[in-house]
Amino acid sequence: MLETDLFIIPAKEHFFHLDDQINHMIERRVAAPLPVIVEGISIRQLMKRINRTPDCAIYVTNRWRSSSKLLEERLSAYEAAFAPYATADIIVDIEL
């Protein structure tokens, strides 16, 4: 399991990850060959930047999430650009 949110660099308008490090860890698992689950916010955007396509995409919703206005703006822009909900293989709705 690779939690990409741990590799986010704070930026004003976008989510920036340490792409090279993430890609290297994925490559090590795939070359082993071992399964790898890659998760995190804006994962479709990240996977596009590192030129990877997931075998399966899971979209998780949580209507009780707390967030800031800036985070909401970033998520809305990400959703509009990558349509992760519409392209997911599995959708999980958490109702906590």
Q: Which residues contact 14 (CB under 8 A, 6 or more apart)?
A: 74
36-92 tens-digit pLDDT: 999 998 899 999 999 999 999 999 988 776 667 877 888 888 899 999 999 999 999
Q: How far apart are CA 28 and CA 31, in angstroms?
A: 5
- State how far the alpha carbon of 82 is from the alpha carbons of 21, 29, 44, in Å: 23, 26, 7
Residue whose pair of structure tokens reads 């060959």 in the numeric block: 33
Per-residue model confidence (pLDDT) at position 70: 76
**Residue type at position 56:** C
Residue whose pair of structure tokens reads 């990558």 in the numeric block: 82
pTM, two decimal places:
0.81
